[in-house]
Structure 1
Amino acid sequence: LGVTVETRPTLDMSAGGFDGVAVVFLESPSNPGLDLCDIAGLAQEVRAAGGVSIVDNTTMTPFGQRPLDLGADVVVASDTKAPSGASDVLMGHVASRNAGLMEEVAAWRKLAGVIPGPMEAWLLHRSLGTLPLRFARMCDTAALIAERLLAHPKVASVRYPGLEADPAHLMAKAQMTRFGFLIGLTLSDKDTAERFIQGCDMLASATSFGGTHSSAERRARWGDDVAEGFVRLSIGTEPVEALWSALEEALDAA
């Protein structure tokens, strides 16, 4: 089709510039590493070079980050995650303030047939009313859990944009309104990580995330560029002290 794809690390998206690049696809915070990039700065660079910037905002939802306000041309997100909350529907959305571009998206959707069924649409619509409440609770709990994980002797490192020591903290404060519900923690090795996940009775071992139930996955199993002991932890809406007690017990026993 004559399309050339170049991949760049989230932290080095500007490397090489954007001359001749038609579309730049960003994810910030990245999944699963939780690295951030300067959305506003990159969107400006891409536009100056004649390209279109697309931001995947799945990890943050509109209640934690608004890429269109930061200058992005298009936002995409998986509504299977936090917007649904119940992990019972597969759906996503595209948003833009460019009316002409959205007309093209709508035409493509019509011709390609990727239109959600009425039941799926109802399931998602059912959940949207509680999204801001769920997201706020998940973020509050994640902030507390991240601080406690940082102090646990079994945990080698923690990535969470809300931690003052996190390398992305200052950028997160500048472009995000909340710090999210995802935490990256690194344990000593693969086996320890698996024992932690399987040994915690309040964690679902799952590839998806963002539900009201907390979940975790060792992402190196899928070839992600992370340590073998890296665990992506998605915080749900459970009572915070009960959740921490279960996590701490599983870590101690791992």
Structure 2
Amino acid sequence: MTGDGTTAAHAGERPAVPGEPHRPGPVLSTAWHLPGAPDFYGRPDNPTYRDLERALSELEGGSTVTAFASGMAAISAVLFGTLKAGDTVVIPSDGYYATRSLAADRLAAFGVTVREAPTLGPYPLEGASLVLLETPSNPGMDVCDLAAVCADAHAAGALVAVDNTTATPLGQRPLELGADFVVASDTKALSGHGDLLLGHVSTRDDGLATRVRNWRTWAGAIPGPFEAWLALRSLATLDVRLERQATNALAVAELLVGHPGVSGVRYPGLPGDPAYPVAVKQMRRFGGVLAAVLPDAAAVERMLSASRLASAVTSFGDVRTGIDRRAQWGGDDVPDGFVRISCGIEDTADLVADLTAALADNAG
């Protein structure tokens, strides 16, 4: 058993070959000479996909991982790979809005009954085939008790999938808490540099893994080999990135809690946060994302204009701090001044000083 930093630094490595780099370049071919080639075509599989999947499996604590071209491709594989007409799925009413849109528009059209429930429950489990959870929720940062919900869902005959994008496998391992699937957008903190679109699904059930992989092959939702290789390279710094991001997020949360121009601060690692009692029980670290409410949209704009380090971005998990006013997109039930703050790896003192100055106009 090794620590997170060691695992991340070496995850997915092939055996060392004298004279070759530690991390060989991506395999960009889509077809191989036959017969006898282990691969025959780039859509079902690729050696670089497998390297990334093996690395993610190590980070997940041991599982079968299937890599995808995006987080939505990964979520789609779980939904369409496991549900059929007549089934019922429960999805988060306060989670990523694109998942709700997909379920309402496509799953319902295919004869699947869609129920919504907030992250804190209660969950309408009767007759459900699949329960999709997102914890911490995006963007509200609520946390549900995964072990308890998984147990209840299984007792009702439902599978459980957990969107673990916000936490990452170094922050939380839902499979160890009873989930059947973990799904994530690796576009965010896992690859961590704001320059890739990727996702993955992880499961310890061979039958479920086959369903997910078959969906990827049929739908063609494959990652590019070069993108997979870049993500694999990025994983080496995941532990150190998350450590700084979590340190920064706690410091920023403490700053905002004490600021007269800010309300509704949410960070699961902040003692006193409603999510803290559950988060401290099931999360291995609390991540770099927090939420807060400023008085209005203009206050958010003033803060962004005054900040030297934070910029307006709609993604999260980057090495640079980003702030997103979620109401502008129309998918979340939040006030105009609600912001999701994704802390980067800047020096903590510099980030706190910058945001303190940027918020000066919002006091009182």
TM over 0.5, shorter chain: yes
Quote how far apart the aligned CAs of 1:191 are.
1.2
Q: Which residue of 2 aligns with 1:79?
A: 186
For 2:305 and 2:314, the matched residues in 1 are separated by 14
Q: Once superposed, which parts of structure 1, at least 4 consecutive aligned residues long, lie more than 2 Å away?
A: none
Q: TM-score, normalized by length of structure 1?
A: 0.96
Q: Which residue of 2 aligns with 1:232?
A: 340
Quote how far apart the aligned CAs of 1:13 are.
3.9
Aligned with residue 310 of structure 2, among 193, 203, 211: 203
**Contact 2:312–2:323, Cα closer than 8 Å, also in 1:** yes
Aligned with residue 159 of structure 1, among 249, 252, 266: 266
**Contact 2:251–2:352, Cα closer than 8 Å, also in 1:** no
For 1:165 and 1:194, the matched residues in 2 are separated by 28
Describe how 1:4-23 pairs up with structure 2 within 5 A. 4-14=113-123, 16=124, 18-23=125-130
Quote how far apart the aligned CAs of 1:168 are.
0.9
Amino acid at match of 1:242: D
Aligned with residue 323 of structure 2, among 211, 216, 227: 216
Tell me how many residue pairs correspond in the alignment: 252
Quote how far apart the aligned CAs of 1:157 are.
2.9
**Contact 2:247–2:348, Cα closer than 8 Å, also in 1:** no
* Percent of pairs with identical residues: 50
Quote how far apart the aligned CAs of 1:25 are.
0.5
Quote how far apart the aligned CAs of 1:11 are.
1.3
Measured against aligned partners, the alpha-carbon deviations of 1:66-93 in whole angstroms (never above 9, x if no partner) come to 1001101100001000111111110000
For 2:337 and 2:299, the matched residues in 1 are separated by 7
Quote how far apart the aligned CAs of 1:175 are.
0.9
**Contact 2:193–2:319, Cα closer than 8 Å, also in 1:** yes
Measured against aligned partners, the alpha-carbon deviations of 1:4-24 in whole angstroms (never above 9, x if no partner) come to 11111111242x3x1211111
Specify the SS of the correspondent of 2:210. helix
Q: Within the alignment, does 1:50 sit opposite 2:157 as a pair?
A: yes
Q: Which residue of 1 aligns with 2:8?
A: none
Quote how far apart the aligned CAs of 1:194 are.
2.2
For 2:308 and 2:185, the matched residues in 1 are separated by 27
Q: Within the alignment, does 1:93 sit opposite 2:200 as a pair?
A: yes
Measured against aligned partners, the alpha-carbon deviations of 1:213-235 in whole angstroms (never above 9, x if no partner) come to 00001111122111211111000
**Contact 1:13–1:37, Cα closer than 8 Å, also in 2:** no
Q: Which residue of 1 aligns with 2:234?
A: 127
Aligned with residue 2 of structure 1, among 111, 118, 126: 111
**Contact 2:248–2:351, Cα closer than 8 Å, also in 1:** no
- Unmatched tracts of structure 2, length 5 or more: 1-109
For 1:153 and 1:20, the matched residues in 2 are separated by 47
Quote how far apart the aligned CAs of 1:197 are.
2.3
Amino acid at match of 1:50: G
RMSD: 1.1
For 2:256 and 2:277, the matched residues in 1 are separated by 21
Comparing 56-65 and 193-202, the one that deviates more: 193-202
Quote how far apart the aligned CAs of 1:149 are.
1.5
Specify the SS of the correspondent of 2:232. helix
Quote how far apart the aligned CAs of 1:26 are.
0.2
Q: Return the index of the structure with the highest Cα Rg.
A: 2
**Contact 1:77–1:93, Cα closer than 8 Å, also in 2:** yes
